[in-house]
Amino acid sequence: MNTGVTEPAPAKVNLYLHVTGCRTDGYHTLDSLVVFAGIGDTVQAAPAGTLSLAITGPEAGSLAAEPDNLVLRAARGLAAAAGREAAATLRLTKRLPVASGIGGGSADAAAALRALGALWGTRTDDATALALGADVPACLACQPVRMSGIGEVLGPVPPIPKLGIVLANPRLALPTPAVFARRSGPFSPPAALAPRWPDLASFVQDLGALRNDLEAPAMALCPPIAEVLSALRALPGCLLARMSGSGATCFGLFATPAAAAAAARLLPAIWWHWGGGVFDAPVRAPQA
Ligand SMILES: C[C@@](CO)(OP(=O)(O)O)[C@H](O)COP(=O)(O)OP(=O)(O)OC[C@H]1O[C@@H](n2ccc(N)nc2=O)[C@H](O)[C@@H]1O
Ligand SMILES: Nc1ncnc2c1ncn2[C@@H]1O[C@H](COP(=O)(O)OP(=O)(O)O)[C@@H](O)[C@H]1O
């Protein structure tokens, strides 16, 4: 019996995010260093005669298995590109808060593309991935990347020193379009990154000179982000704290995954939070 294919959908973290311009279609060009955390959703795909989606997990209540769920959109997009029927039983285990700047929906879509690619023997082309969201190409790669364009240009990054990450969200959903719409002022140049980081201190120093250009507009829409950042900065061993993506999730960097896990336990229980290491498990190639 074919029990299907399971793929991880780890949280995306934008360690810095510069908004470098705006295209005529309203999409913004970005420069961002993206890594993935050791926490995420899971997508499972099994053979079936029709397309269906069931959602479970601690954050399942924030999402309905509606036709516009990114997992179903990914299945339909991949099937259309391959000229085949979109038929599979999909299961999504939702652990990441929805609309929170850590790309949960994009990671789910990417995991569905990888899982269904393996199940159906089809290949995800770049246009199919990007049509699902600007973050989907990076989530499909699922490894540290430097993101530019609107998210579709992925470049290599030097090895990232071992570190720990804490993620914290005040449990307030923040829609990405509203944050971009609120942004104003001059655009930023792309970051000048070191060709390599000999240790975590030099990495953190480089990041410290950069920023997330969406932090101010996000904070204007969601003032508790300032509280989350202060709480992260006050945690023992926190080396740097910043917002990820369009928020409201913020991250703190720590010397080790164990230090991050211990620090996360000190955050208010009413916030969604997690501490650990970067995602380092293998994922399937998006090509079957
Ligand atoms: C900001 C980022 C940074 O990684 O992350 P999140 O906050 O979503 O996690 C991403 O660029 C988000 O990617 P994603 O969430 O896939 O965005 P999309 O669905 O394609 O776009 C949602 C809306 O955000 C705005 N948008 C998005 C991406 C981009 N490069 N420029 C934009 O202006 C547009 O208004 C667009 O209509
Ligand atoms: N599987 C999914 N997981 C999360 N959000 C989804 C999913 N499918 C559709 N969405 C919708 O996509 C939007 C963005 O969600 P998400 O990717 O979690 O945001 P962000 O990229 O800011 O973390 C939300 O409004 C949500 O309703």
pTM of the full structure: 0.97
Q: Give the Å distance between the CA of 25 and the centre of ligand 1.
A: 13
Report whether 150 contacts 143 (CB < 8 A).
no
Catalytic residue list contains 199 = no
Q: What's the chain's Rg over C-alpha atoms?
A: 18
Per-residue pLDDT reduced to its tens digit, 69-101: 999 999 999 999 999 999 999 999 999 999 999
Looking at the predicted complex, does its ipTM rise above 0.95?
A: yes
Q: How many residues does the chain have?
A: 288
Average pLDDT over residues 24-28: 97
Report which bound ligand comes closest to the CA of 22.
1
Catalytic residue list contains 12 = yes
Give alpha helix (H) positions in the chain. Answer: 70-82, 104-120, 126-132, 136-141, 176-182, 200-208, 215-221, 224-233, 257-264
CA-nearest of 77, 209, 204 to 140 is 77
Per-residue pLDDT reduced to its tens digit, 267-288: 999 999 999 999 988 888 775 4
Domains and CATH numbers, the chain: 5-155 (3.30.230.10), 164-276 (3.30.70.890)
Q: Is the CB of 169 under 6 A from ligand 1?
A: no
Per-residue pLDDT reduced to its tens digit, 210-240: 999 999 999 999 999 999 999 999 999 999 9
Q: How far is CA 78 from CA 75, 129, 133, 247, in A?
A: 5, 9, 14, 29
pLDDT of residue 34: 98
pLDDT of residue 2: 62
